[in-house]
Amino acid sequence: SKEKIALFTIFGGTGDLAQRKLYPSLFKLYQKGYLQDHFAVIGTARRPWSDDHYHEIIANSLASLNADAKTVQAFASHFYYQSHDVTDAQHYVTLKRLSEKLDAQYGLQGNRIFYLAMAPNFFGTIAQHLKSENILTDNGFNRVIIEKPFGHDFESAKELNDALTATFNENQIYRIDHYLGKEMIQNISAIRFGNNIWESLWNNRYISNVQITLSEKLGVEERAVYYDNSGALRDMVQNHILQILSLLTMDQPVEFTEKDIDIEKVKALRSLRPYKPEEVADNFVRGQYAADGDVKAYRDEDKISPESNTDTFVAGKVMIDNFRWSGVPFYVRTGKRLADKFTRIDIVFKRPVVNIFNHDDNASDSTNELAPNVLTINVEPTEGFELRMNAKCVGQGFATTPIQLDYDHDSEATANSPEAYERLLHDALNGDATNFTHWQEVAYSWKFVDVIQKYWDEHTPDFPNYRPGTMGPTASDELLKRDGNEWVYKD
C-alpha cells in the first residue's frame, strides 16, 4: 500500500506558510491516498483556538481546490489544535500527552514529523524541549522539517545547526529549499545523466558560460521586516541559487541516491572560488529599486527604513576551481521588481572553433556570424527546454541562421503535477532527503556568501540604482560584457 503513517506536529500552525502551503499539500497527499486513516496533525501556536475553529481554518485553506465538502471534512477531522507557547516547558507535557493519545487512536506506530513553520530563532528551543520532554519516540521515525532561512551567516547557521543536532541526527533533519521540489530543477539531473550528448559536453571545453536567473516582478510585499534584514544575496543566492548551481556542476553521482548526490554537491560547493574582499566589487553587483510612476521605491515601502541599504537585486560571477569548470563563469542574478516573474537557466556553449562559412567570399554577408548554441531550462512559469542552434537559411545561396527547438511540458500534466511542498512532504514521509539541503552544503554556501555580504556591509552603496520593470542596474550587464559575454534573457 502507498499509505504513509505519521503524526505531524506543526509549530506555527496558525501561520501563513501552514495555511497557504502545508494544509493544501497535505490535502493533496490525502486525495492521492498517500495519507489515509493512519495520520493525524497537531497544529500548535499561541492563539487559543478550538479544534472546531481549527477545522474551519483547514477547510478555508483548501477553498481554492474545489474539493467536495465531505472529503474536506473527513480530512480536517484528523487535525487537532493545541495552544502552545514554544518557550514554555509546561506546554510540551500537554503536547506529549496529546501525541501519545493520537498515536494510539490512529495507529501511528511512533512515526513523528515535526514541522517548524516558525521564525528560526525558536528552532533551538523547540528542538531542546522535544528532547528534554521526551516527545521523540523510539519505536518509529522522528524527523524535523525546517524552513529557510538557515542562519544569516555561517556562524549563526552553525549555532542553529548545533542546537538542532543536540536533539536530531543529520539524517533526521530535513532543511526545506522549495526550489529543490520544483519539477524542472529535478530535471537537471535527468537531462544531464540521461543523455550522452549533454554530459559529454558539460565542461569547460564546450561550455562558454552558464546563467541562472530567478526573477521576481513584485516588490517586497508582506515580508518587509524579514527581507530588510536579509536582502537578495542572503534570501536567494545562499540557498536557492547555489543549490541550483551545485546540481548543474556536480560530477556524476555513483548512484542516484541521497548519499551519493550529497557527496557530489558538497564537492561542487567546496570548489567555489572564494572572493577576497578586494575582488567583491568587480564580481558582484548589488541593486535596489527606485520609484517609477505609481510604483514605490524600496525605501518608501511600508516598514522599510528610508535609509535602507538592503539589496533587492544581486548579480554575480561565480567561478568553480576544478578540472571540469576551470575558466567557466557562472553568472547568477535575482531581484525584486524586475521585468517579469520567471526562473530560467541558460547554458551557453562555445562557438565552433573555426567558422568555415565566414571565408572572404562571404565576408560581406553578416548572417554568417555563428551564434552560440544555448540550452535553456525553463523552470517556471513555463516548464520546458529550448535549444538554439545554427541551420541553413531556407532558399537559394548559403547563409546560416539561428533556429530554435522548443519543448514544453504539456500544460495539463503540469497542472496535475505536485507542487513543491507536496513533493517535499511526500519525500519526508518516505525518509528521502535527496531534495533537501544537507548541512555541509549550507556551510560551504554561507562561507562563499559571507565574504560578499561583509564587504557590502562595510561599503555604502549608491542606492537606489535600478528602475522597476527592468533587469536591474546596468552594472549587471557590464559584469558580463567585460568577459565578452551577455545575458541571454534581456528585458
> Largest Cα–Cα distance of the chain, in whole Å?
87
In the shown chain, the binding pattern of residues 127 to 166 toward ligand NAD, with x for contact by CB under 6 A and - for none, equals --------------------xx------------------
Minimum Å distance from CB 359 to ligand NAD?
56
Minimum Å distance from CB 437 to ligand NAD?
13
Q: Does 90 interact with ligand NAD (rule: CB under 6 A)?
A: no
Characterize 351-360 residue by residue with b for buried, 16 or more Cβ atoms within 10 angstroms of its Cβ, and e for exposed. eeeeeebeee
Look up cell 500527552; give the residue: 97
38 noted as active-site residue: no
Contact window for ligand NAD (CB under 6 A) among 14-22, 180-188, 193-201, 473-481: 14-22
Q: How far is CA 14 from the centre of its chain?
A: 23
Q: Which of 120, 335, 372, 473 binds ligand NAD (CB under 6 A)?
A: 120
Q: Does 303 interact with ligand NAD (rule: CB under 6 A)?
A: no
The rounded distance, in Å, linking the Cα atoms of 340 and 293 is 17
The reply to whether 178 sits in an annotated binding site is yes
Q: Does 266 interact with ligand NAD (rule: CB under 6 A)?
A: no
Minimum Å distance from CB 227 to ligand NAD?
10
The rounded distance, in Å, linking the Cα atoms of 236 and 435 is 17
Q: What sign results for the dihedral spanned by CA atoms 17, 22, 27, 28?
A: positive
The C-alpha cell that represents 222 in the structure block: 508582506
Distances (CA, A) of 368 to 202, 354, 390: 26, 12, 10
Minimum Å distance from CB 378 to ligand NAD?
23
DSSP 3-state of 212: strand
Q: At what angle do helices 51-61 and 69-76 cross, to 10 degrees?
A: 130
Catalytic-labelled residue, pool 55, 84, 240, 426: 240
122/349 with CB nearer ligand NAD: 122
Q: Does 24 interact with ligand NAD (rule: CB under 6 A)?
A: no
- Residue number of the CB closest to ligand NAD reads 15
Q: Which of 2, 3, 16, 407 binds ligand NAD (CB under 6 A)?
A: 16
DSSP 3-state of 169: coil
Q: Does 84 interact with ligand NAD (rule: CB under 6 A)?
A: yes
The rounded distance, in Å, linking the Cα atoms of 239 and 222 is 21
Q: Does 10 interact with ligand NAD (rule: CB under 6 A)?
A: no
Q: Which of 51, 85, 170, 486 binds ligand NAD (CB under 6 A)?
A: 85
Minimum Å distance from CB 12 to ligand NAD?
3
The reply to whether 336 sits in an annotated binding site is yes
Cis peptide before 468 (omega within 30 of 0): no
CB–CB of 18/49 below 8 Å? no
Strands 384-392 and 400-408: antiparallel
Q: Which of 72, 86, 136, 144 binds ligand NAD (CB under 6 A)?
A: 86
Strands 284-287 and 39-45: unpaired
The reply to whether 235 sits in an annotated binding site is yes
The C-alpha cell that represents 324 in the structure block: 571540469
CB–CB of 162/134 below 8 Å? no
Ranges of H-type helices in 391-434: 411-416, 420-430
Q: Does 15 interact with ligand NAD (rule: CB under 6 A)?
A: yes
Q: Does 45 interact with ligand NAD (rule: CB under 6 A)?
A: yes
Residues in contact with ligand NAD by CB under 6 A are 12-18, 45-47, 84-87, 117-120, 147-148
> Which residues line the annotated binding site?
46, 85-86, 148, 178, 182, 216, 235, 336, 341
Residue ranges of the binding site for NADP(+) = 46, 85-86, 148
Give the residue numbers annotated as catalytic, written as ranges.
240
Binding residue numbers for substrate: 178, 182, 216, 235, 336, 341
